[in-house]
Amino acid sequence: MAGHYKVRDVLEDARLEQTRTAAPLVSVVVTSFNYASYVTDCLSSIACQDYPFFHVVVVDDCSTDESVRVIKDFIDSSAGGERFELVCHDQNKGQLGAFKTGLAHARGSFVTYVDADDLLLGDFISSHVRIHLGMEPVAFTSSDQYQINERSEILSGHHADLQAKGKFRFIGPRSLHRPFWLWATTSSMMFRKAVLELVMPDTIDHFRICADNYISHFANLVGGSLLLPEVHGCYRRHGMNCFSSNSLVGGCHPTGNMKHHPSHDLVRQTILDTLIRKHEEFSAVLSEGGYEGLLARTVIGWEIYRVSRINDSFNRERSPFFPLKISLQSFSIRLSTKIHQVTAFAKNVLR
Q: What is the pLDDT of residue 241?
A: 66
Alpha-carbon span 102 to 56, nearest angstrom: 9
Alpha-carbon span 13 to 56, nearest angstrom: 27
Largest Cα separation within the chain, whole Å, is: 66
Q: What is the pLDDT of residues 148-181, one digit of tens each?
A: 999 999 999 999 999 999 999 999 999 999 999 9
Q: pTM for this one?
A: 0.92
pLDDT mean over 213-237: 97
CATH number of 10-259: 3.90.550.10
Q: What is the pLDDT of residues 299-331, one digit of tens each?
A: 998 898 888 887 888 888 888 889 999 999 999
Banded pLDDT at 1 (limits 50, 70, 90): very low
Give the domain ranges of the chain. 10-259, 268-350
- Of the candidates 242, 257, 256, 236, the one whose C-alpha atom is nearest the C-alpha of residue 37 is 236
- Of the candidates 149, 118, 152, the one whose C-alpha atom is nearest the C-alpha of residue 45 is 118
1 close to 29: Cβ distance less than 8 angstroms: no
pLDDT mean over 29-52: 98
pLDDT mean over 40-58: 98
From residue 25, how far is each of 83, 186, 244, 333 by CA, in Å? 12, 20, 31, 38
Q: What is the pLDDT of residue 5?
A: 62
Q: What is the pLDDT of residues 244-262, one digit of tens each?
A: 656 677 766 556 666 778 9
Q: What percent of the chain has pLDDT over 90?
A: 76
> How many degrees, rounded to 5, is the angle at CA 166 between CA 185 and CA 48?
50
pLDDT mean over 13-29: 94
- Of the candidates 327, 324, 314, the one whose C-alpha atom is nearest the C-alpha of residue 279 is 314
Residue type (1 letter), 21: T
- Of the candidates 147, 157, 212, the one whose C-alpha atom is nearest the C-alpha of residue 182 is 212
Confidence check: pLDDT of 207 > 80: yes
**Whole-number mean pLDDT of the chain?**
92
